[in-house]
Amino acid sequence: MVFTWRYEKADGTLVTPADGQEEFSSQGDAESWIGEAWKQLVDDGADRVALLDDGREIYTMSLHAE
């Protein structure tokens, strides 16, 4: 299994982060990383992210406080 994040603007347009695509061997590692990197992703133009497991979407979440 390879976990990755998909980065999107509010309208669904994909965003390419400045640091490129990260890959993780576990969901926990991916979630820990997003907890540290979300501010930079917002600065890069992302509004929400989707966690993917081998390309299959697990969930999406906003990077903005509700």
Reading the chain (66 residues) residue by residue, the pLDDT tens digits are 899 999 999 999 999 877 778 899 999 999 999 999 999 999 989 999 999 999 999 999 999 976
Alpha-carbon distance of 24 to 4, in angstroms, equals: 6
pTM over 0.95: no
